[in-house]
Structure 1
Amino acid sequence: MADAGRQSFTDKMSSSMKPDTQKSMTESMGDKMKGMGDSVASTLQPESQKSTTQQVGDSMSGNSNENQDSMMNKMKNAVGMGDN
């Protein structure tokens, strides 16, 4: 379960797995805004104040305070769905 004020893990997963080409313009923009807001919240929230679940979720989605590619992006790149 995500910390209060953060995007749920289910929403992140479903948004990231659906290609942008299959999303409506409104859906695509909404997903990007939610993701950007969650990324900012992740960066501003110190790791010491995050629940263990949120730390794991952030590290998998790339929203941690570390500068490394997310596990989700690595999986998407491995199956040819990534941006790289």
Structure 2
Amino acid sequence: MSEQENNNFERNIFERYKLLISARDFHYENFNKWLTYFYVANAAIFVGYIQLLISKETGNNGFDIDLASKGRDCNLNSV
């Protein structure tokens, strides 16, 4: 191998090394963000699944958030 080929080979290895280090740093910087997205997505799927199970057991659609009907069912004067 000539001197010039050897220098090009070493430069190519160094460029690859810098690229690998920058990719590693990118993953280190974004790991916590990706982990948060993963946990939020899993929690949303879990809550949706539990909501479906509850709605099948109770026979209602699971989206009963009508505050007027809830207030009518509560007797606040008995306190």
Settle same-fold status: TM greater than 0.5: no
| Alignment TM-score, normalising by the size of structure 1 | 0.30
Greater relative contact order (Cα 8 A, min sep 6): structure 1 or 2? 1
| Higher normalized helix content (fraction of residues) | 2
